[in-house]
Structure 1
Amino acid sequence: MLVIAPRLLATVGLTAERDMSAVMLGLGDSVAALERDEIDAFFWSGGVPTAGVDRIAATRPVRLLDLGEETVRLRTRYPVYDVTTVPAGTYGLADPVSTASVRNVLLVTADMAPALAEPLTRAMLDRRAILAQADPAGRSIDARSAIGTQPVALHAGARAAFRAAKGLAGP
């Protein structure tokens, strides 16, 4: 959040230094500080649901700020962000909430052999349920969307794995 939060704040004309009393805490410490009423809000980035946020939402109502419009504006300067939706029911929310998202990528060197990158990518696609048990972001692994890695070029071995997963042939 050291990068995302300042960018989002700047999009609405705010800075942490000028407009608020900001402290740098990890997610666990942020949840604990919110529970103790030591802070009013926090930024976090992670798969949904995130365990720490889930924990606090089980003990008190939480509210996520809708960032849909801000994310659209943010994308004009930083195209790596997308608008995504936190579904209703998550964290006890009555309605879905638009928020910013950043793709998770598995980054390898350009010189990794395609014969290694392809089975590595296939394993990630085939075992996404196991990955989701370790981190909710694993649920978002999908051959239709994971192929989009812009601005980083997709590795040839990964491209072959995605094409095979989609039933496509060729390089």
Structure 2
Amino acid sequence: MKKSRVLISMVILALFASAAFATTFVTIGSGGVGGTYYPLGGVMAELLTKGNVDIKATSRSTAASKENCRLVASNKAQIGMTMGSTLYQAYTGTEAFKDDGKLPLLTLMHMYAAPQHLVTTTRTGIKKFSDIKGKKVSLGAQGGGDQLLSLMILEAAGMDPDKDLRKQQLSQPEAVTALKDGNIDAAFFNFAVPGSAVMEIAAVRDVVLIPLPDDVIAKVTAKHPFLMPYTIAKGAYSKQDQDVKTVADGNFLVVNEKLPEKVAYDMVKIFIEKKEDIMKVTPQAVDFTPQKAGIGIIPFHKGAAKYFKEKGVNVESK
């Protein structure tokens, strides 16, 4: 009798040990409180934990893109949120990651695009891109992502910001106020559609979104592979009656190349198929579809690629 009890106890302990061993613990590197990444991380962690795929996930507030790439590369986080420009540098070991070298990162999925907006008002007379010459234009805060992308666009257009523009370097809130007050003629912004900054200006002024010329789009995306052509569809903003062509930086989920295939498969499957739950937290999840999530600038993890293939989307994998 005692032997039977001991045997039963051993079996129970073995089952518990097996279950514990099967569970994959995942940390999601998100971003700072107040940004889009932070609430996304929270809802994603909850969905993974409740997804019946033996994953227990938590979200961690971080300094976003750069830190997340390094955390995932060192396996201190298993999923990281990052802008495409940062991801490309991390994958190739260039610019901000020159001292790191190439990091072992792969794409899990593309979350949403952040297109560059060139915003003016009807009273400035600016109707096309070339009209900004000689005007007072904010490129974004010095050193910020808005300004870096603005400079890439101006370079592709053959414009010198110091000679061809009356250059301003304003933060997004400062540029919004300046446009409303008429203290600048136009401003570059980078954010997902619809951007609250544009809507705030539109509340008191007639806003005009200026499209980028096709040749500028072609040049800047050829030189900077992390950028993608993007169209802000008409109706995205009040009184916007035409599509507006521009370029966008993507926002991606990245994983370590050593992540098990099944884990990567399960994660991307949950995020896309639970899109409606994520949209309760942020409207950007409207792009969590196989077609849009399968857009990449570096190779996808083979587990993610397997899911996309099942949905009829072929992606480059590694």
TM-score after normalising by structure 2? 0.47
Return 110-119 or 39-48, whichever deviates more.
Answer: 110-119
Superposition deviation, residue 149 in structure 1? 1.4
- CA RMSD, aligned part only? 2.5
Unaligned residue ranges in structure 1 (runs of 5+): none
2:188 aligns to what? 43
1:90 alignment partner in structure 2: 236
Residue 120 in structure 1 maps to residue 267 in structure 2: yes
Worse overlay, 5-14 or 63-72: 63-72
Report % sequence identity. 22
| C-alpha displacement of 1:134 | 4.3
Partner of residue 58, structure 1: 203
Q: State how 1:105-144 maps to structure 2 within 5 Å.
A: 105-144=252-291
Partner of 1:149: 296
Structure 1 letter corresponding to 2:229: V
Please report how far the alpha carbon of residue 135 of structure 1 lies from its aligned counterpart in structure 2 after TM superposition: 4.2
Residue identity opposite 1:95 in structure 2: Q
Count of residue pairs the alignment pairs up: 168
CA distance in 1, matches of 2:284, 2:276: 10
In 2, distance between residues paired with 1:59 and 1:81? 32
**Residues 103-151 of structure 1, C-alpha deviation per residue, up to 9 Å, x if partnerless?**
321122222232332222122212334444544432223212322313x
Query: For residue 205 of structure 2, what is the amino acid of its counterpart?
Result: R
1:26 Cα deviation from its structure 2 partner: 3.1
Q: Secondary structure at 1:17's aligned position in 2? A: coil
Instruction: Find the residue that maps to 1:99 and give its secondary structure.
Output: strand
Q: Deviations over 1:22-76 (max 9, x none)?
A: 3333323321221122222111122111122122123211111111412122223
Tell me, in whole angstroms, the C-alpha distance in 1 between the residues paired with 2:193 and 2:167: 24
Q: 1:127 to 1:139 in 2, by over 3 A?
A: same
Partner of 1:100: 247
Work out which of the two has the higher radius of gyration on C-alpha atoms and give 1 or 2. Answer: 2
**What SS is found at the alignment partner of 1:3?**
helix
> 2 CA distance for matches of 1:98 and 1:167?
25
CA distance in structure 2 between the partners assigned to 1:84 and 1:90 by the alignment: 13
